[in-house]
A and B are shown apart, each in its own frame.
Chain A
Amino acid sequence: MQLSPDLFAPLKTAEFAGEELGRPPVNYWSDVWRRLKQNKLAMSGLVLIVLLTVMAVIGPYISGHGYAEQHLSLANHPPDGTYWFGTDSLGRDLFTRVWIGARISLTIGLVTSVICLVIGVLYGGVSGYFGGRVDEIMMRIVEVLYGIPFMLYVILLMVIMHPGLKTILIALGVTYWLDMARIVRGQVLALKEQEYVLAARSLGAGTWRILTRHLIPNTMGPIIVTMTLLIPNAIFTEAFLSFLGLGVSAPMASWGSLASDGINSLNTYPWQLFFPAVLISLTMLAFNFLGDGLRDALDPRLRR
């Protein structure tokens, strides 16, 4: 049979109209965002976090008093028109100091969670993906480390290193990644048996590609939730350490050190505890709300 080119004609694309999708495809992340938006508590947490972040950036400049500026004649001044949150025992403006504290706390929360993300994802990813012997040894190490009460460990690190922001970050980073590693490992362990990984492998994808393109993106949900819940934990630990006198040193201020100063003069100058206390609690509340909301939004099993 002879086939000549004029027997063929290009197909008109219009004929495929019936197969077009009725509406734009719902991408996973836009779906998550849509569900998160419906959660009022999570959204108010998010708004609060944005507000706190903005104030941490601009707050210390608003009142016009520097955070280390001392006016001994105005010491322990109650809140009024000039000193909105009052002053401390050295006459320093608490409004400015509280927002400096917000900077410290938010930085610590964020950086710690990023450190833990990197260590935890790599460690957990490798352990879960390779499995067998490697997994056994790596998880045994985690188990031993888990046995160590971490707060004591952080305190020890703080005692022997110079107190300061960097030290806190190192101490928190090296102790908090364990949870992340375990969660990532569990996820990877479950996911690597899935058919699409087999498909990718049979198409010739290498270990690195499977790990970075298939396994890690699919564990993003639990990772993000762990991160958002880790941030308030880190903030709390920093405040706890600063409260014990192991945090940033004066004249820097953190919410923990402000609260610690405030407790000592609680009977006479209650506002010195009140403002840092409210801010710590609000921040923890906001991150916990957002974390819970994200967990619900990211978990497809909870879709109703």
Chain B
Amino acid sequence: MARYLLRRLATMLVALWLIITLTFIIMHVIPGGPFATEKKLPPEIMKNILAHYHMDEPLWKQYTDYLGSLLRGDLGPSFKYENRTVNGIIRDGFPVSATLGAIAIALALLIGIPAGIISALRRNSWPDYLAMVLTTLGFSVPSFILGGLLMYVFAYRLQLLPPAMWGTPRQVIMPALALSALPMAFVARLMRSSMLEVLQQDYMRTARAKGLPERTVVWRHAVRNAITPVVTYLGPLVAGIFTGSFVVENIFAIPGLGRYYVMSISDRDYTVILGVTIFYSAFLMLMNFLVDLAYVLIDPRVKLTGRREV
């Protein structure tokens, strides 16, 4: 167990280092640089700006400095907005994104898992067909389209919900739905197929034969065994929700980290892009790691050899 954890941790750190180094190199070899504006700046001013941001030093020095400040948890200043730091942007934006993300994940699981269970238990009944139609739609309608449609129907036509902004529970409903539709569909499908497989196992017959009540059979024997694929999907689920929130936060004008990230992309605000990318990567990797741990706790059969079998 300890060996496995160490190995996963090492892989994670290597990936993170790779990301940092690659993005650092890429960001510095592109022509133009962050201060290439339409207006030509006088060379003295340009020099001062570069000196201010330590961009006149040799590249390797900039790299080691950057790594050093990363280790201290400092992601540097924003190039675009003088009085903002990347840390400040993350501090402002991430709680909002995390709240929205957590609600969306909860929705996906709380609706997706029961829907999958019911579909599997009552295969080929109308609830099953309904769930299949809805999940197919969930797969096919991208979140930004769904967000737009929800906004059109509930905010503009029916005027039931506020179209944008953040702060009240009513403002959370539409973005959370738009964000959770695809993972919800995926969870429901996964749960259904895994339940169907488990229901055919011999131990299900045994459980029934020894006279256990149907409730116990379903919950203790079927669901508990069928839920492991959903747990492994949690890692990609979290990643999908957080990247998905880049567009959803933009549509609904939510002041989350995703919106800042997209803004920094169109501003070509390199330190923010770099810093937020690293922050997101580290966060998502950590989530993946926790999911792997949860997987081990749920399913004692998993052998901790460190390599996932294909």
Contact = CB atoms under 8 A, between A and B. Distances in A.
A147 B12 contact: yes
Contact of A156 (B26, B136, B140): B26
Interface string B217-258: 000000000000000000000010001001100110000000
Interface in B152-191: 152, 156
Contact of B156 (A232, A236, A266, A277): A266
A260 B266 CA distance: 14
Contacts of A156: 23, 26, 273, 277
B139 interface: yes
A149 B285 CA distance: 8
Contacts of B139: 284-285, 288
A30 B16 CA distance: 48
Size class of the A contact interface (CB-based, 8 Å): 35 or more
A297 interface: no
Interface string A146-174: 01110111011001100000000000000
Given A156-B273, A156-B277, A267-B156, A148 B19 contact: yes
A147 B247 contact: no
Determine which residue in A140, A148, A151, A152 has the highest number of CB atoms from chain B within 10 A of its CB, and name it. Answer: A152
B133 to A, nearest CB: 11
B32 to A, nearest CB: 10
Interface stretch (A12-20, A95-103, A240-248): A240-248
B15 interface: yes
Contact of B273 (A159, A182, A240, A256): A159
Interface majority SS (helix, strand, loop, mixed), chain A: helix
B239 A149 contact: yes
B130 interface: no
B6 interface: no
A277 B149 contact: yes
A266 B247 contact: no
A273 interface: yes
A236 B243 CA distance: 13
B18 A144 contact: yes
Interface string B60-86: 000000000000000000000000000
Contacts of B198: none
A244 B265 contact: yes
Size class of the B contact interface (CB-based, 8 Å): 35 or more
B260 interface: no
Nearest to B246: A244
A159 B28 CA distance: 13
A299 interface: no
A285 B140 contact: yes
Contacts of B307: 139
29 contacts: A139-B307, A143-B11, A144-B11, A144-B15, A145-B15, A147-B16, A148-B19, A148-B281, A149-B284, A152-B277, A152-B280, A155-B277, A156-B26, A160-B26, A246-B265, A259-B144, A260-B144, A263-B144, A263-B147, A263-B148, A266-B148, A266-B151, A266-B152, A266-B156, A281-B141, A284-B140, A285-B140, A288-B136, A288-B140
Given A156-B26, A280-B141, A284-B140, 17 more contacts: A145-B15, A147-B12, A147-B288, A148-B15, A148-B18, A153-B19, A155-B265, A156-B23, A183-B310, A186-B310, A236-B142, A239-B144, A263-B144, A263-B148, A277-B149, A280-B142, A285-B139
Interface of B: 11-12, 14-16, 18-19, 23, 26-27, 30, 136-137, 139-142, 144-145, 147-149, 151-152, 156, 239, 243, 246-247, 250-251, 262, 265-266, 268, 273, 277, 280-281, 284-285, 288, 307, 310
